[in-house]
Amino acid sequence: MSANATVPGATGGPTFAEDSVLLYWGVSGLQGYMYFTRYNDKLWVRAVAATMLILDFVSVALICQSMYYYMLPHFGSFAPLSAVTKELSIECLIAAVITFISQMYFAYQLYMVKSPGITAAVMNSLVILFGIIGLGGAVGCVGMMFLYPHSIFMNRNHVFAILAGIAKGFGAAADIVATIAMCMFLKSAETGMKRTSGMLKSLMHLVINRGILVTVAQILLLITFFATAGHLYWLAVHINTTKLYVNTFFGMLNARTSLQERFATGHMSMSGETTVNTLRLAAPMSPKREKMGELDTQDYAMSAIRVTTSSTVADI
């Protein structure tokens, strides 16, 4: 059977796959548009964001093409489900890369926290290690999908199942550790100052919501994959998990605007083509008060939210 088969009697115009790509990619596209038109981050951050957006578009296109092949040209027949398409196999690889990029960017944020002590270093190392193991398991899954396309949906290959468990299990572990680590820092930076405490709580809510969403998705994918081995429920969860990683990635980046507007007491200044938002959380403190561990104030650009204490620095 050809993946390019058409429905008898179909007329010209936009195909099912093309329409679905535009509709399904809409949220990510809007988030990307908001980010690139509002922020002037470092070049490598913008490159990562652009890569995520492109990979997400390709992922959606491959999913739609595969769903078209399974559901429309052979409607009513289960024969196509005997093998996984190459498009879907490639999409699984792209999904693994998207997940890894999102986790490593979160690890970078943890590194920028510069929280002292061995605990912070260990937790950040665990996030990176778990993310790499998860990526390795996912790459192994894709390899099995190309080698044994007829042993993925039906009569599942045991090696494929083990590798999938490793990929999803360690992926969930990386997200859990990253969320706990970031919340520990934000909690340790609490002060008695109303404005800064409010900002820290808002940041913590963002981090927790992101962590809960992606972790629950990974665990649900793991459960449906093994508990319903004779069905394809896990495939629907897999598709939406990839979208969650993309949307939470851009959601964290775009949330800076609302936080800045909510807690700002500063001014806007223009310099050439670069817009800098100078915000002050409170009046600068004396060195004596800094030594007491109270929150110091810093100007920060739109590329980050900077929280500084006498012992920690965070660029969120």
Q: 282 lies in a domain?
A: yes
Q: 2 lies in a domain?
A: no
Which stretches of 153-232 are DSSP H helices?
158-188, 194-227
Q: 52 lies in a domain?
A: yes
Question: pLDDT in tens for each of the 316 residues of the chain?
Answer: 444 444 433 444 444 444 545 555 677 888 888 899 888 888 999 999 999 999 999 998 898 888 888 877 777 777 777 888 899 999 999 999 999 999 999 888 877 766 667 887 888 899 999 999 999 999 999 999 999 998 888 788 899 999 999 999 999 999 999 888 887 777 665 555 666 566 666 677 777 878 888 888 899 999 999 988 778 888 888 888 888 899 889 988 888 766 665 655 443 332 333 333 333 333 333 333 333 333 333 333 334 444 444 344 444 5
DSSP, res 73:
T
Place of tokens 């897999």: 238
Predicted local distance difference test score (pLDDT) of residue 269: 33
Contact 113, 182 (CB under 8 A): yes
Q: How far is 222 from 241, CA to CA, in rounded Å?
A: 11
Angle at 209 between CA 208 and CA 210, to 5 degrees: 90
Predicted local distance difference test score (pLDDT) of residue 163: 94
End-to-end alpha-carbon separation of the chain, Å? 50
Contact 174, 134 (CB under 8 A): yes
Predicted local distance difference test score (pLDDT) of residue 10: 41
Q: 9 lies in a domain?
A: no
Domain of 233 in residue numbering reads as: 16-315
DSSP, res 296:
B
Q: What is the DSSP string of 224-262?
A: HHHHTTTS-HHHHHHHHHHHHHHHHHHHHHHHHHHHHHH
Q: 3 lies in a domain?
A: no
- To which H or E segment does residue 32 belong? helix 26-38
For residue 64, what is the domain's CATH number? 1.20.1070
What's the number of domains the chain is made of?
Answer: 1
Q: How far is 277 from 75, CA to CA, in rounded Å?
A: 55
Q: How far is 179 from 52, CA to CA, in rounded Å?
A: 21
Q: 204 lies in a domain?
A: yes
Of 22, 100, 33, whose CA–CA distance to 61 is shortest?
22
Predicted local distance difference test score (pLDDT) of residue 138: 95
DSSP, res 311:
S
Predicted local distance difference test score (pLDDT) of residue 63: 87
Q: 92 lies in a domain?
A: yes
Distances (CA, A) of 126 to 80, 103, 133, 201, 206: 41, 11, 10, 25, 21
Q: 5 lies in a domain?
A: no
